[in-house]
A and B are shown apart, each in its own frame.
Chain A
Amino acid sequence: MSTMTTAPAPQLRQSLTNGRLPKWAPVAVTVLSIALGCGIGAAAGLKSHLQWGLISALLFVAVSYAVAAKVEGRRQAKDRFATSLVWVAFILAVVPLAALTFYTVQQGIAAINGNFLTHSMKGVVASTTPDGGIYHAIIGTLQQVLLATLIAAPIGLLTAVYLVEYGRGRLAKAVTFFVDVMTGIPSVVAGLFILSLWNIVLGFGYSGFSGSLALAILMMPVVVRSTEEMLKLVPNELREASYALGVPKWKTILRIVLPTAVGGITTGVMLAVARITGETAPVMMLVFGSDVINNDPFNNPQQSLPLYIWQQYSMVNNDFGYQRAWGAALVLIAFVMALNLVARGIARWRSPKSGH
């Protein structure tokens, strides 16, 4: 009797360790498939290293499935297969980001110097010299984005206040839904709308301001969404305490609710600014572009960074133009990324406390 009960024990211990791949197996498979991928890529004479990587990734998935199926059985093999696919997805996301950043920095850094940042394209024959700069484009972008923010931020903020503090009934529901839908409006459609209203019906010409109007349309829903989320996080106890002291609702909102959420709201606005800074299509249709510095956003065409990149690429369309385009692209990306990082930093630093 006693021998019968003890007999299965060693077998069980064995099966716990036997049917499993060792811990170092995934690493080994990775190394093996990368080596094989590079080998095959080199042997087949494939020029692009991205293709080597793709082959390695496919090999990685296949080999880890095969090995696991051999040693661990079908269920475990499927698990390993899924895990390796998820890791490949991760790598696939990293590759374009790394390639894009690396390539932009590599190409852009060569174009950027003091002259490039402080001069316009006035009097420069763009297609035959590397001269000229982006000063006028930086001025234009800053002015247009500032004007758009001045229009969109208050409207967006007030709308969010309405939705969170007052919103009941059908109107609030409609606003919520259409704000959501509005975030998906293609920028080119916003540009078309401002063009038909502002430039064709009302008869204004190309100017930085009409570009700002289109940018404001794109910016408003983003501000509303993020502000709404932040206002919802403000604990209700704060509002109730304020009401209990006899403070009217509007003062409660201005003095209690908004200051509590100010960090998150700032983040939201900055992210929205970052988003519209890179918009090209509406600027192209409404601001038109110019080679000289125009400090007046309300009259005459201006330049902007995205538009400058587009014009250097499509109109100059040679190495001089490409180089200037990459320089402007690097400045633009650096600006947008800096906005993003600062915005997220603020969000961390001043996130609404949950009241405990």
Chain B
Amino acid sequence: MTSSPPATSEGRVRRRRGDSRLGDAVFFNLSRGSGILLLAVMAAIAGFLAYRSGIALSKNQGNFLTTFEWTPDAAHPKFGIAVLAFGTLVSALIAMIIAVPVAVGIALFISHYAPRRIAQPFAYLVDLLAAVPSIVYGLWGVLFLVPHMDGLTRWMDQYLGWTYIFDQSKSGVPPRTLFTVGVLLAIMVLPIITAVTREVFRQVPRMHEEAALALGATRWEMVRTAVLPFGRPGIISASMLGLGRALGETIAVATVLSTNSVLSLHLLDPGGGTFAQNIALKFNEAQPFGRDALMASGLVLFVITLVVNGVARLIIARRKEYSGANA
């Protein structure tokens, strides 16, 4: 090494440095390029859907927001999202009402209540529930859950019928209803809500819990005063992530729900529809214009899920900083 003339050594060093600069530049640009590509894909999704829906909306003879029918391929194209928006929101809402309390309970069970030997395997089990494909949920929903919902549906009709929404106008039909869809969606979003909530509950400062217990609080009082207030933003954002899933769920809804274009407040009557389910079902037989119309409804769904997920992520991000300061 010392015997080599300084000029060549310097040259080698310079060349190597040049290599590494080139390598760094290539690698940096490649990785930044993929990041930009991801952003471009998002922008392209929004752009293309907006463009196609613009075409569709300009020829729509109904009101896009209030029309019930979906007949874009008729001589006078008429389509609107009233039924779809209602069905999407209602089924997702039912799913949330059922899933959020149960998910918080499960998360508490895993983080604070379960014996340690059960907690870890059970957490795995809940994660596995998230891996079941939605088409299997759909198949199970229509062939197993729907018959099992029959009794509950009739019971609710009988005793809660006075609330109007739980009144069945026609009994004896299989309950392929928005309510059943809500129950199925609740089962499907349970794992994701549980997973996020569980993580936040784990981050609760041990000191807060022990302080509460030292003051003589029972376990529930400890949970209420230390765990839940700390975890509230986590619960909210986890619910919104679940809500995003429930809003966009396609094939399970398409399998279970028996659809029609009637906007009915009777949740126990078969009928209604959701954005995603409508797209999936109408797609293959739609004409080019019908596809544009479906893309318009897809755009609405895209924007809704974007907002819901974005808000959820913002809450989580704020939380991260906060808990980081606390640790």
Taking Cβ atoms with an 8 Å cutoff, the residues of A that contact B are: 46-48, 50-51, 75-76, 78-79, 81-83, 85-90, 92-94, 96-97, 99-100, 103-104, 107, 154-156, 158-159, 161-163, 165-167, 171-172, 174-175, 177-190, 192-193, 195-197, 200-201, 217, 220-221, 224, 248-251, 253-254, 271, 274-275, 277-281, 284-285, 288, 306, 309-310, 313-314, 322, 325-326, 329, 332-333, 336-337, 340, 344
With contacts A281-B250, A281-B276 taken as known, whether A185 is within 8 angstroms of B35 at the C-beta atoms is no
Is B211 part of the contact surface with A, judged by Cβ < 8 Å?
no
> Smallest Cβ distance from B294 to chain A, in angstroms?
7
Contact pattern, B 21-63, Cβ under 8 Å of A = 1, otherwise 0:
1011011101111111111011011001100100000000000
Find out whether the CB atom of B151 lies under 8 angstroms from the CB atom of A162: no
Find out whether the CB atom of B132 lies under 8 angstroms from the CB atom of A100: yes
Chain B interface residue bracket vs A: 35 or more
Q: Across the interface, which residues of A come within 8 angstroms of B219, CB to CB?
A: 79, 82-83
With contacts A86-B113, A96-B187, A333-B133 taken as known, whether A195 is within 8 angstroms of B291 at the C-beta atoms is yes
User: How far is A182 from B40 in the complex, measured between Cα atoms in Å?
Assistant: 12
Interface 9-residue window, one of B156-164, B170-178, B264-272, B301-309: B301-309
Q: Across the interface, which residues of B come within 8 angstroms of A166, CB to CB?
A: 28, 31-32
Is B74 part of the contact surface with A, judged by Cβ < 8 Å?
no
Find out whether the CB atom of A171 lies under 8 angstroms from the CB atom of B32: yes
Closest to A155 in B: B34
Find out whether the CB atom of B23 lies under 8 angstroms from the CB atom of A97: no
> Smallest Cβ distance from B131 to chain A, in angstroms?
5
> Smallest Cβ distance from A179 to chain B, in angstroms?
6
With contacts A83-B113, A313-B142, A314-B255 taken as known, whether A188 is within 8 angstroms of B248 at the C-beta atoms is yes
Find out whether the CB atom of A280 lies under 8 angstroms from the CB atom of B279: no
Q: Across the interface, which residues of A come within 8 angstroms of B220, CB to CB?
A: 78-79, 81-83
Cβ contacts A to B, 14 pairs, < 8 Å: A86-B108, A88-B105, A93-B194, A154-B34, A158-B33, A184-B248, A189-B302, A193-B45, A220-B38, A248-B19, A249-B20, A271-B131, A326-B139, A337-B128
Find out whether the CB atom of B135 lies under 8 angstroms from the CB atom of A93: no
With contacts A186-B305, A188-B301 taken as known, whether A89 is within 8 angstroms of B248 at the C-beta atoms is no
User: How far is A287 from B65 in the complex, measured between Cα atoms in Å?
Assistant: 31
Q: Across the interface, which residues of A come within 8 angstroms of B31, CB to CB?
A: 158-159, 161-162, 165-166
> Smallest Cβ distance from B143 to chain A, in angstroms?
7
Q: Across the interface, which residues of B come within 8 angstroms of A275, CB to CB?
A: 131
Q: Across the interface, which residues of B come within 8 angstroms of A187, CB to CB?
A: 248, 250
> Smallest Cβ distance from B114 to chain A, in angstroms?
7
User: How far is A251 from B17 in the complex, measured between Cα atoms in Å?
Assistant: 12
Is B262 part of the contact surface with A, judged by Cβ < 8 Å?
no
Taking Cβ atoms with an 8 Å cutoff, the residues of B that contact A are: 19-21, 23-24, 26-28, 30-39, 41-42, 44-45, 48-49, 52, 101-106, 108-109, 113-114, 122, 124-129, 131-140, 142-144, 148, 150-152, 187, 190, 194, 218-221, 223, 241, 244-245, 247-251, 255, 276, 279-280, 283-284, 288, 291, 294-295, 298, 301-302, 305-306, 308-310, 312-313
Q: Across the interface, which residues of A come within 8 angstroms of B244, CB to CB?
A: 184
Find out whether the CB atom of A162 lies under 8 angstroms from the CB atom of B133: no
Q: Across the interface, which residues of B come within 8 angstroms of A314, CB to CB?
A: 255
With contacts A92-B102, A159-B35, A250-B24 taken as known, whether A284 is within 8 angstroms of B218 at the C-beta atoms is no
Interface SS of chain B: helix
Beyond A51-B152, A81-B220, A83-B219, 20 additional pairs, beta carbon < 8 A: A79-B218, A86-B105, A89-B108, A103-B144, A155-B38, A171-B35, A175-B39, A181-B310, A185-B302, A186-B249, A189-B298, A192-B279, A192-B295, A196-B52, A200-B291, A249-B24, A313-B139, A313-B142, A333-B133, A340-B131
- Partner of A186 from B136, B194, B241, B301 at Cβ < 8 Å: B301
- Partner of B101 from A89, A278, A333 at Cβ < 8 Å: A89
Find out whether the CB atom of A181 lies under 8 angstroms from the CB atom of B221: no
Q: Across the interface, which residues of B come within 8 angstroms of A313, CB to CB?
A: 138-139, 142, 255
Find out whether the CB atom of A325 lies under 8 angstroms from the CB atom of B139: yes
User: How far is A250 from B109 in the complex, measured between Cα atoms in Å?
Assistant: 45
Closest to A309 in B: B135
Find out whether the CB atom of B136 lies under 8 angstroms from the CB atom of A248: no
- Partner of B109 from A90, A156, A284, A340 at Cβ < 8 Å: A90
User: How far is A274 from B124 in the complex, measured between Cα atoms in Å?
Assistant: 15
Closest to B191 in A: A93
> Smallest Cβ distance from B248 to chain A, in angstroms?
3
Closest to B112 in A: A86
Q: Across the interface, which residues of B come within 8 angstroms of A253, CB to CB?
A: 27
> Smallest Cβ distance from A244 to chain B, in angstroms?
15
User: How far is A336 from B134 in the complex, measured between Cα atoms in Å?
Assistant: 12
With contacts A93-B106, A178-B38 taken as known, whether A196 is within 8 angstroms of B241 at the C-beta atoms is no
Q: Across the interface, which residues of B come within 8 angstroms of A154, CB to CB?
A: 34
Find out whether the CB atom of B38 lies under 8 angstroms from the CB atom of A79: no
- 4 nearest interchain CB pairs? A278-B133, A89-B105, A186-B248, A248-B20
Q: Across the interface, which residues of B come within 8 angstroms of A156, CB to CB?
A: 34
User: How far is A348 from B266 in the complex, measured between Cα atoms in Å?
Assistant: 50
Task: With a 10 A CB-CB cut-off, give which of A75, A96, A189, A279 has the most chain B CB atoms.
Answer: A189
Closest to B98 in A: A92
Q: Across the interface, which residues of B come within 8 angstroms of A100, CB to CB?
A: 132, 136-137, 140, 144
User: How far is A111 from B153 in the complex, measured between Cα atoms in Å?
Assistant: 32
Closest to A314 in B: B255
Q: Across the interface, which residues of B come within 8 angstroms of A192, CB to CB?
A: 49, 279, 294-295, 298
